[in-house]
Chain A
Amino acid sequence: EAGVTQFPSHSVIEKGQTVTLRCDPISGHDNLYWYRRVMGKEIKFLLHFVKESKQDESGMPNNRFLAERTGGTYSTLKVQPAELEDSGVYFCASSQDLGAVYNEQFFGPGTRLTVL
């Protein structure tokens, strides 16, 4: 079974440009999460989709970040315009909805974003 995949693995852009990150969750996983790790800091939650709906977007830093999950399959995270402080590793995770209190999240390899 394929795991969570993310594209691209690395992206280097200039300040002011736009970047779109993509996450393909494990097939059948309704829950999809985005996290971010800025250099030297902890991994921080950005948002949570259940199917195509945003369940929790409390971690989104500002309105330059837009996440979508049309059709409830893959998700994109767009940063427009990118700023220097957006550099970091963006992780995606997915989980099934088994009706439990907590369902294990499986992580992708991350996208390393560098804004120059």
Chain B
Amino acid sequence: AQSVSQHNHHVILSEAASLELGCNYSYGGTVNLFWYVQYPGQHLQLLLKYFSGDPLVKGIKGFEAEFIKSKFSFNLRKPSVQWSDTAEYFCAVNGDAGNMLTFGGGTRLMVKP
């Protein structure tokens, strides 16, 4: 069975600080990896995804993530956060068992202006 672990439940940063959110997954086969974001009062939306190829993927709003296969990790990064990045972030994987997504527990990010 696949599982996803997000290391930080809550993160508080000041504007312009750099962000890195950790994500590790457990699955023996080929995986597709995702980061979703839920802004206050809004739907879950896709930030970025990795299927294959360049392990450094760029998403919307200046976010990027790096897939490190040997570490089973897919950490999310942003060099300089803004107040508008305040949201909950979810790492998710999809293995070859079907189309279902397996999510991590989420990380609530608060950016202080």
Chain A residues in contact with chain B, CB under 8 A?
A: 3-4, 31, 33, 35, 41-45, 48, 55-56, 59, 91, 93, 95, 101-110
Chain B residues in contact with chain A, CB under 8 A?
A: 4, 32, 36, 42-46, 49, 51, 90, 94, 98-106
- The answer on a CB contact under 8 Å between A45 and B44 is no
Contacts of A45 in B (CB 8 A): 100-102
Closest A residue to B32 using CB positions: A102
- The answer on a CB contact under 8 Å between B45 and A107 is yes
Closest A residue to B105 using CB positions: A42
Knowing A101-B32, A102-B32 are in contact, say whether A43-B90 is a contact too (CB < 8 A).
Answer: yes
- The answer on a CB contact under 8 Å between A33 and B44 is no
Complex-state Cα separation, A106 to B94, whole angstroms: 15
Complex-state Cα separation, A107 to B47, whole angstroms: 13
Name the distance in Å between A37's Cβ and chain B's nearest Cβ. 8
28 A-B interface contacts by CB (under 8 A): A3-B43, A4-B43, A31-B99, A33-B100, A35-B101, A41-B105, A42-B4, A42-B105, A43-B101, A43-B103, A45-B100, A48-B98, A48-B99, A55-B98, A55-B99, A56-B98, A56-B99, A56-B100, A101-B32, A102-B51, A102-B94, A105-B99, A105-B101, A106-B43, A107-B44, A109-B42, A109-B43, A110-B43
Complex-state Cα separation, A93 to B46, whole angstroms: 12
Complex-state Cα separation, A95 to B94, whole angstroms: 14
Complex-state Cα separation, A84 to B62, whole angstroms: 41
Contacts of A56 in B (CB 8 A): 98-100
Knowing A3-B43, A104-B46, A107-B45 are in contact, say whether A42-B99 is a contact too (CB < 8 A).
Answer: no
Name the distance in Å between B51's Cβ and chain A's nearest Cβ. 7
Contacts of B49 in A (CB 8 A): 104
- The answer on a CB contact under 8 Å between A42 and B51 is no
Closest A residue to B104 using CB positions: A42
Q: Report the 6 A-B pairs with minimum CB-CB distance, sorted nearest first.
A: A107-B44, A43-B103, A45-B100, A42-B105, A42-B103, A102-B32
